[in-house]
């Protein structure tokens, strides 16, 4: 009888300990989620402040660099598209879609300075909208 009571007491103690540990783990999980949310919130606030610093001087300085990157990227992309079109000249759907892609890439290549400036100004406008919220 006494042994059965001791076993039941041990089981009850183990159950209490498990329940306590479960509550502690649950609390730690909540704290970790709260820290992650706080970090993400601070990160996006910092990113938004950085994007708001895209004043006209920064845009005029970075835009030509970005435009040059667009030119190189689209130039390489145009060569790749032409190569793929030559390899798949039997499949007319592929050739037509690659031709459209070629037209878009060549337009971006020719207007890369305008595209990069508009892209940077668009990013700044999005940051201003986010700042108002």
Return the domain boundaries, the chain.
Answer: 1-52, 54-133
Question: With bands split at pLDDT 50, 70 and 90, how would you rate the model's confidence at 11?
Answer: confident
Question: With bands split at pLDDT 50, 70 and 90, how would you rate the model's confidence at 82?
Answer: confident
Query: Average pLDDT of 55-84?
Result: 77
Contacts of 68-77 with C-beta under 8 Å, sequence gap 24+, read 68/112, 69/116, 70/108, 70/109, 70/112, 70/115, 70/116, 71/109, 71/112, 74/105, 74/106, 74/108, 74/109, 74/112, 75/109, 77/105
pTM score > 0.85 for this model? no
């Amino acid at each position: 009888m006494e042994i059965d009571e001791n076993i039941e007491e041990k089981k009850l103690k183990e159950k209490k300990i498990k329940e306590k540990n479960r509550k502690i783990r649950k609390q730690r999980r909540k704290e970790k989620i709260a820290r992650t949310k706080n970090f993400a919130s601070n990160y996006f606030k910092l990113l938004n402040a950085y994007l708001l610093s895209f004043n006209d001087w920064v845009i005029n300085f970075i835009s030509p660099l970005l435009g040059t990157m667009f030119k190189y990227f689209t130039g390489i992309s145009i060569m790749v598209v032409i190569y793929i079109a030559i390899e798949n000249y039997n499949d007319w759907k592929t050739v037509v879609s690659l031709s459209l892609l070629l037209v878009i890439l060549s337009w971006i290549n020719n207007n890369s300075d305008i595209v990069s400036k508009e892209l940077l100004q668009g990013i700044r406008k999005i940051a201003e909208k986010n700042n108002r919220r």
